[in-house]
Amino acid sequence: MTSPQDPYQQGPADYTPQQFPPLPQQPAPFGLPGEPPRPRSRRKLWIVLGSIGGVLLLVILGVVILVNVVGSATNQARGLADDFTRKVIAGDTSRAYDEYLDPALQKQLSKEAFISGVKTLEMDSSCQPAYNNLEVATENGMKSAEVVGQISCTGKKVDLAYRFEGKDQLRMTNIKLRPAA
C-alpha cells in the first residue's frame, strides 16, 4: 500500500488535527466587504467647535460692550460740539449760550459779550466744523470732554476749542472761538 518513502503518507489513524478556538467576531475597521462603512462619531468635533464658538462669542460681546461704553461718551461729546457749533453758525447764539454753557462760565462771560463775539466772526451757512482732537475722560464719576478743531468757511477759518464737564449732563466750561492765524 504505501511505501515508507511516500511523502503523502497519512499519519496514524487516531491523529486528529489540532483544533483552535473560534476567533471572536469583530467587524473589520471599515466593515465587512460589501457593507457600507459605519458612520464615525463626531461628538468630539462638535464639542471642540462649540467651545471655540462660545469663546469667540464672548470675545465679540466684550469688544462690542467696550466700544459702546467708550464710544458713547465720545459720541455724546461730538454730538454736543456739533449741536452747539450748528447753533452758533446759524446765528442762534442766545439759545446756544443758554443750553450749553455751564453757569460758572456764564458768570465769567455775559450773554451780550458772547453774542457780540460770535457776530464778529461773521460765520455763514458755508461754514462746516471739523474736529481734529476729541478726548473723553471719566474720573470719580465726573465726565469731561475736550474738543479741538476748526470751522471752515468760504474765505476764512475759525479755530475752536471746547471743554465739557458734568456728571449726568455735560455742560461747556471753557470755550475758544477765534479767527485762525
Residue 152 maps to a domain: yes
Query: 125 is written with which cell numbers?
Result: 451757512
29-44 pLDDT, tens digit each: 565 666 776 777 888 9
Within a domain: 12: no
36 is a domain residue: no
Q: Give kind and range of the element (H or E) at residue 131.
A: strand 128-139
> Which residues neighbour 33 within 8 Å (Cβ) at sequence distance 6 or greater?
none
- 3 state SS of 150: strand
In a domain, residue 5? The reply is no
pTM: 0.60
In a domain, 8, yes or no: no
Considering all CA atoms of the chain, what is the largest pairwise distance in Å, rounded to the nearest integer? Answer: 144
Q: Has residue 35 been placed in a domain?
A: no
Q: Does 12 have pLDDT greater than 90?
A: no
Task: Show the cell assigned to 65.
Answer: 460692550
| Residue 28: pLDDT band with limits 50, 70, 90 | low
What is the per-residue pLDDT for 70? 60
CATH number at residue 138: 3.10.450.100
- Give pLDDT, residue 97: 94
Q: In this structure, is residue 21 part of a structural domain?
A: no
For residues 164 and 137, is the Cβ–Cβ distance under 8 A?
A: no
Q: Is 31 within a domain?
A: no
Q: Which domain holds residue 139?
A: 43-179
pLDDT one-digit tens code per residue, 142-176:
889 999 999 999 989 999 999 999 887 889 999 99
Indicate the number of domains in the chain. 1
Average pLDDT for residues 82-97, to the nearest whole number?
92
pLDDT value at residue 149: 94
